Structure formats: C-alpha cells, structure tokens
Amino acid sequence: MQWPIFYGDELKLGNPESPVGVCTLWTKRDVIYKNLPEGKFAVCGNLYTVQGINPMLKNVLANPKIRYIVICGADLMKSGEALINFLKNGIGDDRKIIGSSGYIDSNVDTELVNKFRENVKIIDLRGREADVPAVLESIKEEAKPFMEPVWITELDKSSAPLKTEDVVFKVRGPSIPWVWLRALNNVMKFGEEKDTDYKIRQKEILDLVSVIDGDEPALPAWLPITERDLENYYETFFSKERPLGVEYTYGERLFNYQLSHVPDKFLEEFGEAQDQIGAVVRILKERPHTRRAVAFTLKEGDSGSKNPPCLTQIVWSIRAGKLVQTANFRSHDIFGAWLLNAFALRRLQRQIAERVGIGLGKLVILSNSAHVYENNWKEAEKILEKSFAGRVLPLVEDEHGYFIVKVEQGIFVEHYTKEGLPSGFVFHGKDAQILYRKILHEGLVSLMDHAAYLGHQLAKAEYCLKTGEKFVQDKA
C-alpha cells in the first residue's frame, strides 16, 4: 500500500528511514519545510484542527518508524495543544481526548491508541520555530518500528445518505446551538458523499442558509466545543495581527486589510481603510439605508492559494431598526468550524450594533458548500442521536404572521401580521386542499410546521362543515 494513507498530496515527504514527523499546525508548511535539514525528517505537514489528529494517528500506525512528532508554528485552533493532551492524558470511555474537545475514531482499537501514546514522543517547539533544524539534527537514533504496521485505511463511516438533488436548505431557530443541530442534521441526512481536495471523503449539501434569531444564555454541555475553545478562537478572530508564517486570519482581513483590490465603488465609500469594521460602523451611522456596508476577506492572490479563506464576505443591513448580518462562506465545515464561526460572528454583530446604536437583528450564514468530513461522521451521528433524534419540533412564531380559521357556510381563513393586525388576505371555500394550496401560493407561510398546522386545521374545518359539528381552532 502507498504511504501516507491520508492527505498524501498535502504532505512533504522526506527520508522514509527517519523517526521524525514535523507538524507545522497553522503556519504555512513551506515556511518550516524550506529550513529543515535534508534526511532528518520523514514527513512534514499542517494540523489545522483537532479532527486532523485521526488521520495523523492512522498515518503513524501505518509507519511506526515515526517515534517523534515535532509540533511548531501558530496553534490558532489549539490542535497542537489537543495532540499534546492526547499523548499525555489519553481518551475517556466516550473516546474523547481528555483535556481537549476532539475524539478518536472508533475503528482505532484502544490497544493501538495506547501503543501510539507509549512509543511516540511530542517535541513542543511552538513559538521556537528557529530551533526546529537544530533539534532535528540532534536526534541520532535509528528509525526502529515500535510495532508491526497497521493499515486503517478508512475513517469512521455511517449509514448511506438520502439521495436528493435539492439545493438551498434553510434552517432557522432561536439560538446558535439549536440552528447548528438542524444544519448538521441536513448535511448528515442529505449530504452527497464525494471526494475533496484533501483526499478525504465528505458529505456535502449546497447553499445552506442558517438564520439565528436570538442567543444562547449558556453553552450547552453536549456541544463539541467549550468556553475555552471559544475564547481561543475569539483571540484570533478579533485580532488584527497575523502570526508569522500564517497565510491569513479573519481578524487580519477584517480589521487590518489593504483595500487595493476592492471594486472602486466600494473604495469611494470606505477610502483606503484598513479597518473594514470601523468603516462599516461609520457608513451605517451616516446612511442607515446603505447597501454598501460590506467587508471582504478575499484578496487577489487567494484564487491560486491552496488555503483561501472560507469566509469570503460579510454584509450588514438595517431592517426594522435592527442590524442584520449576513456572512457568506464558500466552503463550510459544519462539524469542525461552523459553531466557532457562528459565535464569533454573533459577537462581531453585537459589537457593531452597539457602536452604531441600534438593536441586534438576525444573523444569517450562507454556506455555499456545507459539509462534514468523513472523520467526523460517527461523532456527528452520536450527537444527533442524543440531542436531535426523536424530539418534537417546538412551534415558533412565523415572521409572516398567522391565520384564523372559521366555519360559516364554508371555510373562511383570515391572515394576520405577527403584530395581530389584519393583512387583508382572506380565503374562502369548501375544499381544504384547494384553500391551503392558495395560501401557500401567496407565500404567506415561511415555516414547515406552520404549513402542517394550517393543513390540519383546514382538514378539521372541512370535516366539521360536512358533518355539522362545531369547529374550534386548535391552539398552536
């Protein structure tokens, strides 16, 4: 079999007889690689997220000559910290890394996990990247395998997805965790299994629209992230500084961005502003009706980059006196990144609303490619089984209003705004199916549960009309 098993195209291979692997975390691999002494390392690559520990683990188990892993570079997502915790603390009964938020795949036997932890040593050079060549030169021992190679060529798998060619999936809810569960459910149920540029399978749906109405008062314990994960992420997201060797950060692009490649019509509004967020606040204060409150994260050279920003732009608008923020992601890891992204975006939206002096409106996240990588399928299904499956969908207010149904020599349906005022839409007839199809045609229902409720009430009204029984509309 060919080694490495996973991410072969993304790794730089060196001396197959070397006992050392070099992990550059978020720092561009080539920044470290170009200084490595020839013949002193077996493989060099990035480790962007905690989820990447599983393919790394399986690559090492297939090449047990590797006895040292040097970690260096910017640890933006604390994947290096998680790897250290994995070697130091191991995993719990739930296979979660003790001290970090990642999980180890179920198809790696506990015995193999222990062999890896007992025989592989982490050399932590984060912040000491200049020392990496000398440390590699100092390792003199031969690459003696600590076990026979084990080829685990698959990551955890789950049941086959439902087949659909549909695009544009919408989820809406009162909080970020609530909406995330439904977004994850859509990808896991309807995602198409396909390859990626990273040589790992994914489930993908296209054009997922997530609408968050409110906030979560506290972070639920069942989420795969912690308050510490959030604080670590905020530190990078809201900092205009870009660590040396890192290709980009959202904070740098949003708060310290050269606008030379932005279309002229936007430059006329913002000037050569480096702080895009500050410019957005200014224009919203001056002209609340503007359609030009936009921040970009893409730059001209990103089209040829192997790691272009996933978040490409953010747009702010004022509707009904509240700030609405819409973030567009060209590529969105729903399991590994969506939650951190959403919480950071909501915090950014709140800060801008406070600076402008208006209320906080909805957060909209457009995920052009909404996907879950293969190594997260099993854990995603566990979370959905525990916190989503079998639940009764709570009825929430439909932004488009509600209906009053009456039976008076026929079925009368009146539509009201959510404020309780008649909208002027009145429907009359004797056939429930025709009535609800007319109502849906008018676009007066935005939520599926309200459509189902209305259909049930109209069927009940039709029955009462035919039998002479008294009709009383059920409470929602």
Report the largest interatomic distance among the alpha carbons of the chain, rounded to a whole angstrom. 94
From the candidates 44, 72, 310, 464, which is the catalytic residue?
A: 310
Q: 8 φ, ψ to 5°? A: -55, -40
- Report how far apart, in Å, the C-alpha atoms of 395 and of each of 347, 361, 404, 450 are: 27, 20, 16, 8
- Report how far apart, in Å, the C-alpha atoms of 417 and of each of 346, 414, 439, 444 are: 28, 10, 14, 10
Pairing label, strands 202-212, 192-194: antiparallel
Which residue, chain included where needed, has tokens 């990808």? 187
Which residue, chain included where needed, has tokens 């488009």? 400
Residues whose CB is less than 8 angstroms from the CB of residue 338 and which lie 6 or more positions away in sequence, other chains included: 180, 183, 210, 332, 365, 367
In degrees, rounded to 5, the angle at the alpha carbon of residue 35 between the alpha carbons of residues 32 and 41 is: 80
Pairing label, strands 202-212, 294-296: unpaired
Residues whose CB is less than 8 angstroms from the CB of residue 86 and which lie 6 or more positions away in sequence, other chains included: 53, 97, 100, 102, 104, 117
The dihedral over CA atoms of 290, 296, 299, 300, expressed in degrees to the nearest 10, equals -30
Burial class (CB in 10 A: 0-12, 13-18, 19+), 141: exposed
- Strands (DSSP E) along 120-166, which ranges? 121-124
CB-CB contact of 315 with 293 (8 Å) = yes
Known catalytic residue: 310? Answer: yes
CB-CB contact of 95 with 54 (8 Å) = no
Burial class (CB in 10 A: 0-12, 13-18, 19+), 80: buried
Rounded Cα gap, residues 448 and 228, in angstroms: 36
Q: What does R_g of the chain's alpha carbons equal in angstroms?
A: 27
Instruction: With residue 435 as reference, give the H or E element that holds it.
Output: helix 432-441
Task: Give the dihedral sign, CA 230/234/236/237.
Answer: positive
Catalytic residues: 310
